[in-house]
Amino acid sequence: MLKTEAPSPLYAELDLLPLPALVAALVGDQFGAVEAVRAAAPAIAAAVAAALPRIAAGGRLIYVGAGTSGRLGVLDGVELYPTFSWPRERALGVLAGGRQAMFEAVEGAEDDRAEGAAQLRACAAGPNDVVVLLAASGTTPFVLGALDAARALACLAIGIANNPGAPLVRDADIGITLDTGPEVISGSTRLKAGTAQKIALNTFSSALMVRLNKVYGNLMVDLKPTNAKLLRRAVALTMHATGADEASARGALEQCHFHVKVAIVALSRQVTIDQAQRLLAGAAGSVRAALAS
């Protein structure tokens, strides 16, 4: 039996626990997710290092999964646009059962290995693309089929699973094992296993974006201000980075369509918006390098 499917001896009488103890057990078990990701940190760092040159060369992030794992992959990709202005067409989600499966279970879709391969090929994936394949079990046929196709198409295949020695981890270019063990509720990998996957995805994509100069210090200076909250955040970030007052920060942002990077360089270097844009272009989008040039 897979570790993720095995009944945990710690919670054999879960249904008998008083409500406070039940909630405490469900919460407490989640700490195992953090420890699992911590143990996998070297493998995650290796994945970022391998992905960086392909993404910098114009490649895409393609997330593949089924059920909870697939939905978590879609979520990570979707959030890259507002957070880092990452182009939507460069973060794709391949979900067993298609778009419908984001909102409801599509029975049997995860069991079709050929369909996983076909869906990845339909993305016209190639050598610069980074395919992030997720499956708690590490044995999901749909995901393994996509892995077959990723390898055949010379993509970088990153396999993330929650069982040591799983085929997905073993056969990927870079395997990441999040060894979360048995769940509080036997086999419910939307719990601790899913939490570990979410942390690992956050870490992988965020580290990648930092290395792509989407962050200055620890400020998200390449956000896409698509709503009132993010517009306010753009102003606050510009003020924090430059020491400018709100009116000056907002004025600079309005001139560059609320591109925080450009406003920071323009205000800090006391140059025009056009000059700030040229400085950033010459520094590969790095605010720090543009300010030092």
pLDDT band at residue 107 under the 50/70/90 scheme: confident
Q: Name the active-site residue from 5, 79, 104, 115.
A: 79
Q: Name the active-site residue from 35, 107, 110, 246.
A: 110
Residues paired with residue 135 on neighbouring β-strands, in sequence order: 161
- Tally of CB atoms within 10 A around 280: 23
Going from the N-terminus, what domains does the chain have, and what CATH number goes with each? Answer: 9-211 (3.40.50.10490), 228-292 (1.10.8.1080)
- Taking only the tens place, the pLDDT of each residue in 166-219 is 999 999 999 999 999 999 999 999 999 999 999 999 999 999 999 999 999 999
To the nearest 10°, the Cα dihedral for 78, 134, 96, 5? -130
**What does 116-153 look like in DSSP terms, one character per residue?**
HHHHHHHTT--TT-EEEEEESSS--HHHHHHHHHHHHT
How many angstroms separate the CA atoms of 185 and 13, rounded? 11
* pLDDT at 106 > cutoff 90: no
- Taking only the tens place, the pLDDT of each residue in 215-241 is 999 999 999 998 999 999 999 999 999
Q: What is the pLDDT of residue 208?
A: 98
Type and span of the H or E element at 30: none
- Cβ atoms of 33 and 192 within 8 Å: the answer is yes
Q: What is the pLDDT of residue 108?
A: 87
Type and span of the H or E element at 29: none
Q: What is the pLDDT of residue 139?
A: 97
110 given a catalytic annotation: yes
* pLDDT at 83 > cutoff 80: yes
Q: Where are the beta strands (DSSP E) in the chain?
A: 61-65, 91-95, 130-135, 156-161, 174-177
How many angstroms separate the CA atoms of 283 and 201, rounded? 28
Type and span of the H or E element at 47: helix 41-56
Question: Whose CA is closest to 13, among 216, 224, 214, 184?
Answer: 184
pLDDT band at residue 1 under the 50/70/90 scheme: confident
- Tally of CB atoms within 10 A around 107: 9
- Secondary-structure breakdown of the chain: helix, strand, coil percentages, each rounded to the nearest 5: 55, 10, 35
- Locus of tokens 């970030």: 237
- Cβ atoms of 136 and 191 within 8 Å: the answer is no
Q: Which tokens go with 197?
A: 């996957």
Each as own residue / partner, the long-range contacts of residues 13-17 (CB below 8 Å, 24 or more positions apart, any chain) are 14/184, 14/185
- Cβ atoms of 238 and 248 within 8 Å: the answer is no
How many angstroms separate the CA atoms of 230 and 45, rounded? 29
* pLDDT at 105 > cutoff 90: no
b/e burial code for range 212-251 (CB count within 10 A of at least 16 → b) = bbbbbeebbbbbbbeeeebeebbbebbbebbebeeeebbe
Q: Side chain identity at 203, as an amino acid letter?
A: T
